[in-house]
């Protein structure tokens, strides 16, 4: 298996342990997705049994091979619970982006803010109500402040919504704007954004695909601590062995 079954990210080999001796061989290979954390573990054990119990016996030994495997399953999160950790939300969306419209609107605003922090911005999420049409603020420097409007919607964003966003940027004194949506934009939205830029207010349109690309980029550093992830996987594997071993009470 070369790619993650959930987000289609490339599976990286996090651990490749092999042991060979006269009695047999054992291999344990762990692969994990660096985007959403889904992993697989495969174990193959071969035991050589000599007719007289001696490795020096000239007769061909009998080889017994056994294989075992384990995979991680993504747990379902409460996408309406605003107390759910944002990092868990981001990992879940990376794997199941089709569920993005099930997110609570506030959770999606927090997720957008976290993604832009991962891109190197200083992002702060505004109040949930009475925010003046701006959901996230990016402070680039003392002279540049970017206002972001977030719309979790299945419908395409209309031209009027872009015009309204332009007004919110002007009234709020923002120098730039980004409109983030979980859907797409109507055909005239790009033209309106271009007119706003000619008037001195640059607006960037980020549809569902562009936001997902940004989300995947910011997820890459999450699983770089390979030793920690390997320890977690082996712990799960040992627990699975205990649960399936009838001798364990």
| Phi and psi at residue 189, to the nearest 5° | -65, -40
Q: Per-residue pLDDT for 7 more than 60?
A: yes
Buried b (16+ CB within 10 A) or exposed e, 56-70: eeeeebeeeeeeeeb
Does a structural domain hold residue 215? no
CATH number of the CATH domain containing 236: 3.10.450
Q: Are residues 194 and 103 in the same domain?
A: yes
pLDDT at 63: 75
Q: Per-residue pLDDT for 199 more than 70?
A: yes
Domain count, the chain: 2
pLDDT at 244: 46
The overall pTM is greater than 0.75: no
Q: Are residues 136 and 194 in the same domain?
A: yes
pLDDT at 229: 67
Q: Per-residue pLDDT for 15 more than 80?
A: yes
Which two tokens mark 75? 């747990």
Per residue in 130-145, pLDDT tens?
778 899 999 876 677 8
Q: How far is CA 71 from CA 125, 164, 231, in A?
A: 36, 48, 15
Q: Are residues 40 and 144 in the same domain?
A: no
- Domain of residue 236 covers 11-74+224-244
Q: Are residues 122 and 202 in the same domain?
A: yes
CB atoms within 10 A of CB 171: 11
Q: Are residues 58 and 170 in the same domain?
A: no
């Amino acid at each position: 298996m070369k790619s993650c079954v959930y987000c289609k990210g490339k599976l990286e080999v996090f651990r490749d342990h092999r042991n060979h001796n006269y009695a047999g061989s054992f291999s344990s290979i762990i692969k994990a997705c660096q985007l959403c954390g889904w992993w697989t573990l495969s174990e193959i054990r071969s035991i050589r049994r000599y007719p007289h119990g001696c490795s020096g016996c000239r007769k061909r030994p009998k080889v017994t091979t056994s294989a075992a495997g384990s995979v991680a399953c993504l747990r379902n999160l409460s996408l309406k619970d605003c107390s759910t950790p944002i990092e868990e939300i981001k990992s879940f969306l990376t794997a199941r982006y089709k569920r993005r419209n099930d997110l609570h609107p506030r959770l999606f605003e927090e997720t957008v803010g976290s993604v832009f922090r991962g891109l190197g911005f200083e992002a702060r999420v505004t109040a949930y109500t009475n925010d003046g049409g701006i959901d996230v603020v990016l402070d680039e420097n003392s002279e540049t402040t970017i206002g972001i409007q977030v719309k979790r919607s299945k419908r395409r964003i209309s031209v009027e919504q872009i015009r309204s966003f332009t007004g919110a940027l002007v009234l709020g004194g923002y120098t730039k704007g980004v409109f983030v949506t979980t859907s797409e934009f109507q055909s005239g939205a790009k033209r309106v954004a271009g007119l706003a830029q000619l008037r001195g207010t640059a607006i960037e349109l980020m549809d569902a695909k562009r936001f997902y690309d940004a989300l995947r980029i910011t997820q890459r550093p999450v699983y770089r601590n390979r030793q920690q992830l390997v320890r977690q996987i082996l712990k799960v594997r040992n627990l699975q062995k205990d649960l399936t071993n009838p001798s364990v009470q």
